[in-house]
């Protein structure tokens, strides 16, 4: 398989934002093993440091912690994105709370992975968001499916283009939630990896723009079907 | 009963004091005057006094009657005692007085007031004008006080959520009517008194002066009232914060610190360390983010339970799957990644489904040769589907059917019995995926 990765071997420049120094050191060490693919150019331990650091280093990808003092990842997104639209964010979190995850996605992050991810998988995810694709962990796929599902009390569909997932997108999300990799999804559905990526990006856009969340699930608590 | 109180003896040696205290501790337990619940006709003052003095209630009532006859002292003493003695604390449930005691008491009240009227009228010491307003006013005060007692008991029942709204806010319509009637009676008594004492020409200026005084006192004491309310609020908030902090500290100590200690001890055994860390992580997650967890807030969790109308022990499918995954993680030291979309209450079929899924996870953990199993459950209005998948070595389904019963009995048999379906996808080197599908039963007794 030939991908664009082969010709542009320039490593992706990564900036780490996490309030735990121990964790930053860990990620740095893990990514060092993939030095030709990913290069850590800087790190920050607070929202203020992150805003300054990102403006200074102009990285390709920011690995962003969801939970931090002073507003967390969502606050960093809010302050950095208007001035640096080219910087891509990938949320990296231990949080299981749908509200947190959806908040950073709607804030503009291109993906969400958990902190238990393997270093190889993390490097691949960084590369993927840097190329403009979205990265969904199984859990995020589950959250999104949940949010777009039809249930009593769900928000009305104001804009069908944004508020509904196509059957194909739903299938892709289900497979993601079942733990399939993009390549496995592609062979399962007899489509190309590129098409899978397109579907996931489209779901990401809907997740960011649709208003179904506020009214359906995240505003209230878990609602039983 | 020891009359000599060592604490009052300034020359008493401390050793003597200690000795006496250990010898007869109950002597020094202060008995407080409480208003009685079991002998309550009006406010429970007579009953409480009788219990406190250890004499029959009848004697106390008789004393009040005599005091009423002589210059209306009885009601005055009664009201003062009502104000200063607290209600009997909740807990000791007491039966209200029986019909006989009630009749007797009411008769004595009537007798006291009647005697007082007779005595005053015949002796002429006080004009009869005095009786009507005072009786009306005292009656109103009794109503208001009773209502305050009732409000306090309600607050005890409700677990003391709010202090300020306890007086008026939480009562029923009936309680409010009683309260208003009491206030009207007290005002009426005061008004009657004024009308009889003061000539009609003087009434407007007197009323004006009264009003001005009331407003003045009100204005002067506003900051004090505000501070009282605010202090009360602050204190309550601080107390809640302290409780929360203690709860978090206790939780961290009980679980996290203990596990960290265990991990240090097991440092040479990586498998055990992973198992411990994984188990602790799961526990902490459930505590923080779980459906009934700490982060959700108790009221919300209770509401969710109520909405589902599920006995707490039965739980929801989401919780059941989480428990099953956790058990397998603990037993086999593998990571089970679970994603659940939607949720619903458990029933017999879903229990079978979860057991089958658990068996499938165990199979993956035991035979796949990899450390991670993915579980995905989707709850739809008509069906529940669970996928259990690993990226391990897989197997040839044709070859295992004879000697191993796990898949045949525990999974397929269980699903068949409850009307579910099983699909298996595997081949050597390709990993394994078990798909379990169970139709949802429509609740007959909705």
Q: How many CB atoms lie within 10 A of CB B302?
A: 13
Chain B closest-CA separation from residue A189 CA (Å): 15
What string of DSSP letters covers B222-247? HHHHHHHHHHHHHHHHHHHHHHHHHH
Question: Domain range holding B133?
Answer: 27-203
Question: Domain of B410: which CATH number?
Answer: 3.30.565.10
Q: Is residue B101's pLDDT more than 90?
A: no
Q: Is residue A159's pLDDT more than 80?
A: no
Q: Which of B291, B341, B344 sits opposite A145 (nearest CB)?
A: B341
Chain A closest-CA separation from residue B170 CA (Å): 27
Q: Which of B318, B342, B376 sits opposite A149 (nearest CB)?
A: B342
Q: Which of B288, B343, B378 sits opposite A222 (nearest CB)?
A: B343
Q: Is residue B387's pLDDT more than 90?
A: yes
Assigned domain for B286 exists: no
Q: How many CB atoms lie within 10 A of CB A25?
A: 13
Q: Which of B289, B379, B433 sits opposite A97 (nearest CB)?
A: B289
For residue B376, the SS3 value is strand
Cβ within 8 Å, pair B285-A96? yes
Assigned domain for B341 exists: yes
Tens digits of per-residue pLDDT, B301-336? 444 444 444 334 457 888 888 888 888 888 887 888
| Residue B8 and residue B88 in one domain | no
For residue B17, is it left (φ>0), alpha (ψ between -120 and 50) or beta?
Answer: alpha
Q: For the residues A195-216, what does the mean pLDDT come to?
A: 78
Chain B closest-CA separation from residue A138 CA (Å): 7
Q: Domain A136-225 carries which CATH code?
A: 1.10.10.10
Contact B94, B38 (CB under 8 A): yes
C-alpha span between B431 and B425 (Å, rounded): 8
- Which comes out higher in pLDDT, residue A97 or A201? A201
A154 confidence band (pLDDT: 50, 70, 90): low
Tens digits of per-residue pLDDT, B228-286? 899 999 999 998 888 888 888 877 777 788 888 888 888 888 878 888 888 888 888 77
Chosen domain end from B169, B186, B203: B203
Contact A140, A112 (CB under 8 A): yes
| Residue B70 and residue B176 in one domain | yes
* Integer angstrom CA distances of residue A84 from A130, A135, A209, B145: 14, 20, 20, 68
Chain A closest-CA separation from residue B411 CA (Å): 19
**Mutation target vs A (from B307, B329, B376; most A CBs, 10 A cutoff):** B376
| Residue B11 and residue B125 in one domain | no
Assigned domain for B220 exists: no
| Residue B56 and residue B164 in one domain | yes
C-alpha span between B380 and B384 (Å, rounded): 6
Q: According to the model, what pLDDT value does residue A216 have? A: 44
Q: Which of B308, B337, B345 sits opposite A138 (nearest CB)?
A: B337
Contact B33, B48 (CB under 8 A): yes
Chain-centre distance for alpha carbon B76 = 38
* Integer angstrom CA distances of residue A165 from A150, A182, B354, B383: 11, 18, 29, 20
Cβ within 8 Å, pair B389-A97? no
Closest-approach residue (CA) in chain B for A140: B339
Chain B residues close to A178, C-beta within 8 Å = 339, 374, 376, 387, 389, 433
Chain B closest-CA separation from residue A58 CA (Å): 35
Closest-approach residue (CA) in chain A for B295: A97
Q: According to the model, what pLDDT value does residue A45 have? A: 87
- Mean pLDDT, chain A, whole residue set: 81
C-alpha span between B161 and B267 (Å, rounded): 48
Closest-approach residue (CA) in chain A for B310: A224
Cβ within 8 Å, pair B339-A138? yes
**Backbone phi, psi, residue B66, to 5°:** -60, -45
A22 touches chain B (CB under 8 A): no
Cβ within 8 Å, pair A177-B339? yes
Chain A residues close to B326, C-beta within 8 Å = none
C-alpha span between B323 and B291 (Å, rounded): 13
* Integer angstrom CA distances of residue A191 from A164, A184, B322, B415: 21, 10, 33, 33
Q: According to the model, what pLDDT value does residue A172 have? A: 92
Q: Is residue A179's pLDDT more than 80?
A: yes
Chain B closest-CA separation from residue A224 CA (Å): 5
Query: Cα dihedral sign for B104, B108, B110, B111?
Result: positive
Residue carrying the six token digits 């008509």: B382
- CATH 3.40.50.2300 occupies which residues in chain A? 12-132
A15 confidence band (pLDDT: 50, 70, 90): very high
Cβ within 8 Å, pair B304-A222? yes
C-alpha span between B165 and B124 (Å, rounded): 47
Q: Exposed, middle or buried: residue B4 (CB in 10 Å: 0-12, 13-18, 19+)? A: exposed
Q: According to the model, what pLDDT value does residue B297 have? A: 47
B346 confidence band (pLDDT: 50, 70, 90): confident
Q: According to the model, what pLDDT value does residue B31 have? A: 73
C-alpha span between B12 and B17 (Å, rounded): 7
Q: Is residue B61's pLDDT more than 50?
A: yes
**Mutation target vs B (from A148, A179, A184; most B CBs, 10 A cutoff):** A179
C-alpha span between A164 and A116 (Å, rounded): 31
- Mean pLDDT, chain B, whole residue set: 76
Contact B205, B186 (CB under 8 A): no
Chain B residues close to A139, C-beta within 8 Å = 337, 339
Q: According to the model, what pLDDT value does residue A195 have? A: 92
CB–CB contacts below 8 A, A to B:
65
Chosen domain end from B166, B187, B203: B203
Of A63-67, B6-10, B47-51, which range is least confident?
B6-10
Closest-approach residue (CA) in chain B for A141: B339
Q: For the residues A161-181, what does the mean pLDDT come to?
A: 86
- Which comes out higher in pLDDT, residue A225 or B118? B118
DSSP bridge partners of A14: A40, A61
Tens digits of per-residue pLDDT, A53-86? 998 988 999 998 888 877 778 888 888 888 888 8
C-alpha span between A97 and B296 (Å, rounded): 10
C-alpha span between B36 and A43 (Å, rounded): 70
Of A5-14, A51-60, A124-133, which range is least confident?
A5-14
A146 touches chain B (CB under 8 A): yes
| Residue B39 and residue B182 in one domain | yes
Count how many residues are written for chain B.
446
C-alpha span between B240 and B234 (Å, rounded): 10
Assigned domain for B40 exists: yes
**Mutation target vs B (from A177, A180, A181, A219; most B CBs, 10 A cutoff):** A177
Closest-approach residue (CA) in chain A for B382: A225
For residue B57, the SS3 value is helix
Chain A closest-CA separation from residue B234 CA (Å): 25
Chosen domain end from B186, B203, B220: B203
The highest-level CATH class for domain A12-132 is alpha beta
CA angle B385, B389, B393 (to 5 degrees): 150
- CATH 1.10.10.10 occupies which residues in chain A? 136-225
Q: Is residue B403's pLDDT more than 70?
A: no
Chain A residues close to B335, C-beta within 8 Å = 116
A:89-108 residues touching chain B, CB 8 A cutoff = 95-97
Q: What residue ranges in B126-215 does DSSP mark as E strands?
A: none
Contact A63, A16 (CB under 8 A): yes
| Residue B147 and residue B134 in one domain | yes
Q: Is residue A150's pLDDT more than 80?
A: no
B175 touches chain A (CB under 8 A): no
Chain B closest-CA separation from residue A149 CA (Å): 8
| Residue B16 and residue B130 in one domain | no
Cβ within 8 Å, pair A138-B374? yes
Cβ within 8 Å, pair B316-A224? yes
Number of structural domains in chain B: 3
Chain B closest-CA separation from residue A79 CA (Å): 27
B386 confidence band (pLDDT: 50, 70, 90): very high
Cβ within 8 Å, pair B344-A225? yes
What residues contact B55, with CB distance under 8 A and at least 6 apart? Answer: none
Q: Exposed, middle or buried: residue B374 (CB in 10 Å: 0-12, 13-18, 19+)? A: buried
Contact B154, B167 (CB under 8 A): no
Instruction: Find, among B183, B156, B188, the residue nearest to B170 by Cα.
Output: B156
Of A7-11, A156-160, A163-167, A219-223, which range is least confident?
A219-223
Cβ within 8 Å, pair A221-B288? no
Cβ within 8 Å, pair A97-B291? no
Q: According to the model, what pLDDT value does residue B125 have? A: 59
Closest-approach residue (CA) in chain B for A96: B289
Q: For the residues B351-358, what does the mean pLDDT come to?
A: 89
B:298-357 residues touching chain A, CB 8 A cutoff = 300, 303-304, 307-308, 316, 318, 335, 337, 339-345
């Amino acid at each position: 398989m030939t991908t664009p990765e082969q010709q542009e071997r320039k490593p992706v420049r990564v900036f780490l934002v996490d309030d735990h120094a121990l964790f930053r050191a860990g990620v740095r060490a893990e990514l060092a093993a993939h030095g030709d693919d990913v290069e850590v150019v800087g790190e920050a331990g607070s929202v203020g440091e992150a805003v300054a650091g990102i403006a200074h280093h102009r990285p390709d990808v920011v690995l962003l912690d969801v939970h931090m003092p002073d507003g967390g990842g969502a606050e960093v997104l809010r302050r950095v994105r208007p001035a640096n639209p080219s910087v891509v964010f990938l949320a990296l979190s231990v949080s299981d709370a749908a509200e947190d995850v959806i908040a950073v996605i709607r804030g503009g992050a291109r993906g969400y992975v958990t902190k238990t991810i393997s270093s190889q998988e993390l490097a691949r995810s960084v590369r993927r968001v840097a190329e403009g694709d979205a990265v969904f962990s199984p859990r995020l796929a589950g959250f999104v499916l949940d949010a777009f599902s039809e249930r009593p009390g769900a928000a009305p569909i104001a804009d069908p283009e944004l508020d509904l997932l196509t059957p194909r997108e739903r299938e892709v999300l289900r497979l993601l939630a079942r733990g399939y990799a993009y390549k496995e999804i592609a062979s399962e559905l007899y489509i190309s990896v590129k098409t899978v990526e397109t579907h996931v990006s489209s779901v990401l856009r809907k997740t960011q723009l649709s208003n179904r969340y506020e009214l359906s699930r995240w505003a209230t608590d878990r609602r039983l079907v | 009963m020891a009359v000599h109180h060592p604490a009052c003896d300034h020359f008493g040696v401390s050793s003597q004091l200690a000795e006496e205290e250990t010898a007869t501790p109950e002597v020094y337990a202060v008995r407080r005057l409480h208003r009685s619940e079991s002998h309550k006709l009006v406010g429970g003052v007579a009953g409480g006094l009788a219990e406190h003095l250890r004499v029959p209630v009848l004697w106390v009532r008789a004393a009040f009657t005599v005091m009423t006859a002589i210059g209306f002292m009885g009601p005055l003493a009664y009201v003062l005692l009502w104000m200063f003695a607290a209600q009997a604390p909740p807990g000791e449930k007491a039966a209200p007085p029986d019909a006989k005691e009630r009749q007797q008491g009411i008769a004595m009240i009537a007798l006291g007031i009647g005697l007082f009227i007779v005595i005053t009228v015949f002796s002429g010491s006080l004009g009869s004008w005095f009786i009507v307003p005072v009786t009306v006013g005292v009656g109103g005060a009794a109503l208001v006080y009773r209502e305050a007692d009732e409000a306090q008991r309600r607050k005890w029942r409700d677990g003391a959520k709010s202090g300020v709204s306890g007086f008026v806010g939480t009562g029923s319509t009936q309680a409010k009517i009683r309260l208003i009637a009491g206030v009207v009676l007290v005002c009426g008594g005061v008004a009657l008194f004024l009308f009889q004492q003061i000539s009609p020409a003087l009434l407007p200026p007197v009323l004006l002066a009264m009003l001005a005084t009331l407003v003045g006192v009100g204005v002067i004491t506003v900051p004090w009232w505000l501070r009282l309310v605010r202090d009360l609020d602050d204190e309550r908030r601080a107390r809640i914060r302290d409780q929360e902090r203690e709860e978090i500290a206790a939780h961290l100590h009980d679980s996290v610190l203990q596990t960290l200690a265990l991990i240090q001890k097991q440092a040479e055994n990586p498998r055990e360390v992973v198992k411990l860390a994984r188990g602790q992580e799961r526990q902490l997650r459930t505590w923080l983010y779980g459906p009934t967890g700490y982060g959700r807030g108790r009221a919300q969790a209770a509401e969710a339970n109520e909405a589902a109308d599920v006995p707490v022990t039965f739980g929801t499918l989401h919780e059941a799957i989480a428990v099953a995954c956790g058990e397998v993680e603990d037993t086999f030291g593998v990571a089970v990644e679970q994603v659940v979309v939607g949720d619903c209450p458990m029933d017999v079929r879903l229990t079978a489904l979860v057991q089958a899924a658990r068996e499938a996870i165990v199979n993956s953990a035991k035979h796949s040769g990899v450390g991670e199993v993915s579980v995905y459950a989707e709850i739809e209005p008509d069906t529940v589907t669970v996928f259990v998948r690993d990226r391990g070595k897989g197997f040839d389904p044709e070859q295992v059917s004879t000697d191993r019963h796990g898949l045949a009995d525990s999974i397929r048999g269980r699903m068949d019995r409850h009307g579910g379906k099983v699909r298996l996808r595997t081949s050597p080197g390709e990993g394994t995926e078990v798909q379990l599908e169970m139709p949802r039963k429509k609740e007959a007794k909705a």
